Amino acid sequence: MIIRRPYAFLIRNFRLIHFLILLLSTFIFFKSLNALDFFNEYVDTRQFIDSETLISDTVSFSMIIFSVVLIFAFTSIIVLFNKKDKPILFYIVGFIFYIAFIAICIISRVIISTIILEGIDPRISRIIRDVWFISIIIQIIIVGFSLIRTLGFDVKKFNFVEDLHELKIDTDDDEEIEISTGFDSSKVKMQLAMQKEELKAFFYENKFMIIIVLFLIFIVIPSAFIAKNIIENKRYEIGEIIDLDDFNLKIEGAYLTKKDYKGDLLFKGDNSYLIVMFNIENEKEEERGITLNNLRLEVNGKIYMPTTNHYEYFTDIGTGYNNNKISKEEKNYIAVYIIKDEDIDHEMIIRYADKLKVKNSQISAIYYRTIINPENIDITSTTVNKSLNQDLIIDYKELKGTKLNISNYDLQNEFTYSVNGKTKYIINTYGIVLLLNYSFTGNSSFTDFINKNAIITYKYNGNTYNQKISDITPKNYKENEIYLAVSENLRDATEINLVVKVRNTEYIYKIK
């Protein structure tokens, strides 16, 4: 079929039509970058800044409208060029791509609305992110070819002058339409051979532009993708130093537990505590530190924020970080997260966000991720037994190096001591007094240590009883002696123990 007037119009306005195609395809290309940025950031952060126009800002309806216009333009050119044996490969690719692109846009708008309401599976977000990345590469090719034909670099290959001469088309011939049908196999073979030769000629005529486009596709874009997703978002290992601008950050370990430092159960439900140990080294004289909320946990498509309200339960593991500032030194801290038990068996990543920026309702940052394999410290429990004059040694985390030795004990109604020649009394109004002679080495005083970690247990009339530590030692009293207020029943107890609980280990120091 030969349609004279439309074909003549296309010939006369070939570069103008391709300029309009260039404008529309370039507009869609830059809009597509917004969509890629949104899904790329969502894959990295699992978060977004919501707004009433989020969907239209990310995947605008104009992208669909302009795609329809391009489909119509490519269809018209394909019909006209096919009947005149002109190269149509570019237009077929464009036609197919923009049909698929409309589907991508519609699906993406639905996915964004789902993200706003309830979030989506991270695998789906990664797939749609990759689809947008591939679509942008194809769009670069389309924009590149549109630019070539707009500038007229390859117009000669279409031989339009000969077509105008053969058809003898002028402005008086506007309404004439000639239709012919038939299929010629030898003609098809000839067309394929011509297409091959035309491709060779096209390459040699436009090799400079083609090299630029190929350089963008295979060098610049992949390099940018690698730089953002591999270098900037590198995954570190436990103990590996993350070199930030002003300080070094290092994740040193992670632990799962439902218990406090004494081994008492905190959670009975489907939650657990994740305790992350990390090290900060400030390399500047000025005091500085990290922003704790930027140290987040990624697991099973969820983001967990650190909490600062539970540090007192984990003093045996480390000191809780609460946006502390440190001078030119390095210190160890812990961060605490409350997580669902259903997430424990999934890959866990501690992510630190650096250089946060907010632009066009989206968060931009460099993320430093460390893969962690937390140790469940509730799985095993052990008991250590000691007797008088034996060293009790604790080598657990913050209590590492703690050593206790009780050499003697005594039980009396009262004890006396002298101050400036005056006799003072140590008494227990509600019972008797237990004296312990000890030596102690640790990160705190012996009094603080047993107040926090110990209880007295004793056997009386065949039953075992617990007695809380009640220190009644006078202030500024001499070291190595401590006086405890205890029940009168200890006088006739068959067994007395100082029981120290450290996480999942119970140390029983037998006094009697």
DSSP E strands, 157-233: none
Q: How confident is the model at residue 79 (pLDDT cuts 50, 70, 90)?
A: confident
Eight-class DSSP state of 328: S
**R_g of the chain, CA atoms, integer Å:** 39
Confidence of residue 50 (pLDDT cuts 50, 70, 90): low
Looking at the fold, whether 397 and 422 belong to one and the same domain comes out as yes
Mean pLDDT of the chain: 81
The mean pLDDT of 77-88, rounded to a whole number, is 70
- Please enumerate in sequence order all residues whose Cβ is within 8 A of that of 219, keeping only pairs 6 or more positions apart, or say none: none
Distance CA 365, CA 358 (A): 9
Q: What is the CATH number of the domain that holds 419?
A: 2.60.40
Using CA atoms in the order 289, 279, 271, 343, what is the torsion angle rounded to 10 degrees?
100
Regarding predicted confidence, which is higher, 444 or 205? 444
Last residue of a domain, one of 199, 216, 231: 231
In angstroms, the Cα distances linking 409 to 387, 412, 431, 480, 496 are 12, 10, 17, 12, 10
- pLDDT over threshold 70, residue 480: yes
Shared-domain flag, residues 307 and 224: no
248 and 211, same structural domain?
no
What is the structure's pLDDT at 170? 47
255 lies in the same domain as 292? yes
Residue 317 vs residue 205, higher pLDDT: 317
Average pLDDT, integer, range 68-80: 83
Lowest mean per-residue pLDDT among 34-38, 119-123, 367-371, 430-434: 119-123
Q: Length of the chain in residues, anyone? A: 512
Range of the domain at 346: 235-376
Co-location of 12 and 151 in the same domain: yes
Token pair 């990759």: residue: 130
Residues 116 and 219 in one domain: yes
Residues 363 and 388 occupy one common structural domain: no
How far is Cα 458 from Cα 484, in angstroms, rounded to an integer?
A: 14
The pLDDT of residue 224: 59
**Three-state secondary structure readout of 443-489:** CCCHHHHHHHHEEEEEEECCEEEEEECCECCCCCCCCCEEEEEECHH
Give yes or no for residue 287 having a pLDDT over 60: yes
Task: Categorize the per-residue pLDDT at 216 as very low, low, confident or very high, splitting at 50, 70 and 90.
Answer: low
Same domain, 151 and 79: yes
First to last CA, the chain: 111
Q: Which of 124-138, 160-174, 404-418 shows the highest mean pLDDT?
A: 404-418
pLDDT at residue 201 tops 80: no
Distance, in Å, from the CA atom of 146 to the CA atom of 134, rounded to the nearest integer, reads 19
Same domain, 245 and 168: no
Q: Residue 478: phi, psi to the nearest 5?
A: -60, 150
Residue 1: pLDDT band (50, 70, 90) is very low
Q: Is the pLDDT of residue 232 over 70?
A: no
CA distance 98 to 106: 12
Does residue 171 have a pLDDT over 70? no
Per-residue pLDDT, averaged over 28-54, amounts to 81
Shared domain check, 154 and 35: yes
Query: What percent of the chain is modeled with pLDDT above 70?
Result: 76
Which of 7-11, 164-168, 323-327, 369-373: highest mean pLDDT? Answer: 369-373
DSSP class of 227: I
Q: Would you say residue 174 has pLDDT above 50?
A: no
Other beta carbons within 10 angstroms of residue 371's beta carbon come to 15
Helix then strand then coil, in percent of the chain rounded to 5, is: 40, 30, 30
Candidates 508, 494, 507; CA nearest to 464 is 494
Domain boundary among 213, 231, 249: 231
Judgement on whether residues 213 and 357 belong to the same structural domain of the protein: no
DSSP 129-178: HHHHHHHHHHHHHHHHHHHHHHHTTTGGGG-HHHHHHHHT--GGGTT--B
CATH assignment at residue 322: 2.60.40.1240
Residue 181 predicted with pLDDT over 50: no
226 and 239 both lie in a single domain: no
Average pLDDT rounded to a whole number, residues 295-323: 90
Domain boundary among 356, 376, 396: 376
**Count of the separate structural domains present in the chain:** 3
Of the spans 5-9, 71-75, 101-105, which averages the highest pLDDT?
Answer: 101-105
pLDDT in tens, 311-339: 999 988 989 998 888 888 889 999 999 99
Dist CA 298 CA 305 (whole Å): 9
Q: Is the pLDDT of residue 211 over 80?
A: no
